[in-house]
Structure 1
Amino acid sequence: MTDAASDTRFRKSTTREALLQPMLAHAAFDGWTADSFRAACTDAGIDEGQARLACPRGELDMLVHWSRRLDEAVLDAVKAANLAEMKIRERVRFGVTARLEALSGHEEAARRARARLMLPDAAADGPQLLWATADTIWRAIGDTSTDVNFYSKRTILSGVFGTTLAAWLNESDAAKPEARAFLDRRIQNVMDFEKTKAQLTKMTADLPDLAGLLGKLRYGPGPRV
C-alpha cells in the first residue's frame, strides 16, 4: 500500500471515529438517518463534505463502522480472558456474550440500527455484518477450519447471534437473564446438531457416494458396450 493510500485510509478512520459517539447519541433518538448524520457532523465539528469522503453512504457507513468496532471488542475480551480450559460451547458463549455486552449503554441505537438494516438500501449490509460478527467470534476463540465446516459454523452462528441479539435488546432487565438462557438453549441446539451430523457421517462412511450416483442418474447410464 502506498503512503498516499495509507494516509487516506487513516484520515477516513479518524473521521469515522470522531463521528461515532455523536452519531450513536443522535441515532438513539432519531434513528440512523441522514439528519442524524448531519447532526453528528455538526457536533463533531466536521464539515459534512469531509465526512462524506469517509462515509459516502452517510449513516449506513457509520453503522457498518460501529459494527466493526463492536467486533473488535470481542477480540479484546478474548485476549483478556483465559479460554484454554473452556469447552467449545463455553468459548462460543463467551464470544457471543462479549459482543452483546459491548452494546452496553447503546441498546437503543442498536434497536434503531436493526430497523435501519431492514430498509431496501441496506439489504446486503445486514447479512454481511452478521457473517462478519460470526467470523470474528469463531476466529477469536481459535477456530482454524478451512473446509465446509468453515462456512457451516459461520452460517449457524450468524443465526444464533441474530436471534439472541433480538432477545437481548427486547429484555428490559439489565442483567439479561432470559436472553442469556436463550443463548444457552441455542448453543445446545447447535451442539446437538453437530453431534447428530458426526454420527451420521460415521454411519454412512462405507456407503457409496450418493452425489456421484445421482450424477450418473442425471446423465444416464452411459454408452452400451
Structure 2
Amino acid sequence: MVRSKKTEDDHIKVAKDLLLASILPNVEFDGWSSGAFEQAVIDSGVDISLVHQIAPRGAIDLAVAFHKKGDELMMHGYKQENFTELKYSEKVMQLIKLRIQASNTHKGAVRKGMSLFALPQNINEGGQLIWKTSDKIWNTLGDKSTDSNWYTKRTTLSAVYSATVLFWLCDDSDEAIDTWNFLNRRIRNVMEIEKAKAKIKKTSFGQSVFSFFDLLQKPSNEHKSGFPGYKG
C-alpha cells in the first residue's frame, strides 16, 4: 500500500488544528488574548516559524480559524443528512442549526469571539466571516441569483444567523429547544417579508422601485476579494 506524501498544506492544517485545540480551553477564561495565544503555542508544541505562518497576528487569526472550522463542520454535517424531503425554508433552518451546533462544546469561545469582533478595529472582519457563512449556506442550497437578490438573501440570512447565535448564547433550555423555536420564528418572518415583497413587485410602484435595485449585480469572481465574506 502506497502512502500519499503529505503536502505543506497538510502540515499547516495539522498545526493549525493543534493550535486551536490548545487555545480553546484557555479562551473560556482569558478570551482570544495574547496570553491565551502564547500558552497555546507552548502547549501545542508547534514550531514557532510555523506559528508565525499560521497566525501572524496572534490570537485573532486563531479566532478566524475557529469560525471557519465551524463552517467546515456545518458542511460535514450537511453531507451526512438527507435534505431531500425538507422545504426550502427548513433547509435554511437546518443549516443554521448545524452551524450553531458545530460550536456546542465551545460556547465560551463563541461568546469571547463576538466580543473580539465587536471591537472597532475588528468589526469589518467579523462581518465578513458572518457574510461568508451566509454565502456558504445559500451556495450549498443552489442559489443562482445574480441581481439584487444575491445581496438581500445574504444580508437577511446574516442578520438571522447573528440574532440566533446571540439568543443561543443565553439559552439554557434542554437541547437548546428555545433557540430552535426562536430560529423558526425568524425564518417565518423572513418568508412573510418575501411574500409581501413579491406582492409589492407586482404593483406599478413596486416595479419602479425594484427596477433600480435590480441594477445591482452579484460581484464577479475577480472582484470578490474586497467584498464582505471574500477576504483571504
Alignment of 1:178-217 (within 5 A): 178-204=178-204
Q: Distance in 1 between matches of 2:92 and 2:185?
A: 12
User: Hey, what's the Cα distance between the residues in 2 that align with 1:173 and 1:40?
Assistant: 32
Query: Shift in Å at residue 174 of structure 1?
Result: 4.4
Q: Tell me which residue corresponds to 2:81.
A: 81
TM-score by length of 2: 0.82
Write the letter of the residue equivalent to 2:157: L
Distance 1:198 1:51, change over 3 A: same
Q: Deviations over 1:113-160 (max 9, x none)?
A: 111111233121110011011111112223222222111111100000
Q: How do residues 91-110 of structure 1 correspond to structure 2 at under 5 angstroms? A: 91-110=91-110
Cα distance in 2 for residues equivalent to 1:160 and 1:78: 19
Number of aligned residue pairs: 207
Q: CA deviation at 1:211?
A: 6.8
CA distance in 1, matches of 2:209, 2:110: 47
CA drift of 1:30 comes to 0.9
The letter for the 1-side match of 2:40 is A
- Percentage identity across aligned positions? 33
User: Do the aligned partners of 1:74 and 1:140 also contact (CA within 8 Å) in 2?
Assistant: no
1:24-173 matches, within 5 Å, as 24-173=24-173
For 1:173 and 1:21, locate their aligned partners in 2 and report how far apart those are by CA, in whole Å: 27
2:105 is paired with a residue of what secondary structure?
coil
> Post-superposition shift, 1:10?
4.2
State the distance in 1 between where 2:160 and 2:206 align.
33
The 8 Å contact of residues 27 and 112 in structure 2, kept in 1 or not, is answered as: yes
Residues 198 and 16 of structure 1: CA distance in aligned 2, closer, same or farther (over 3 Å) = same
Number of the residue aligned with 1:218: none
| CA shift for structure 1 position 103 | 0.8
* Range with bigger deviation, 91-100 or 48-57: 48-57
- Structure 2: distance between partners of 1:156 and 1:90: 16
- Look up the equivalent residue of 2:164 and give its one-letter code: T
- Report the structure number with the largest CA radius of gyration: 1
* Structure 1: runs of 5+ lacking an equivalent: 1-5, 213-225
Structure 2 counterparts to residues 7-18 of structure 1, below 5 A: 9-18=9-18
Name the CA distance, whole Å, in 1 between partners of 2:38 and 2:77. Answer: 33
AA matched with 1:61: D
**Does the Cα contact within 8 Å between 1:83 and 1:141 map onto a contact in 2?**
no
Provide the TM-score with structure 1 as the length reference: 0.84
The Cα of 1:192 is off from its aligned counterpart by: 0.6
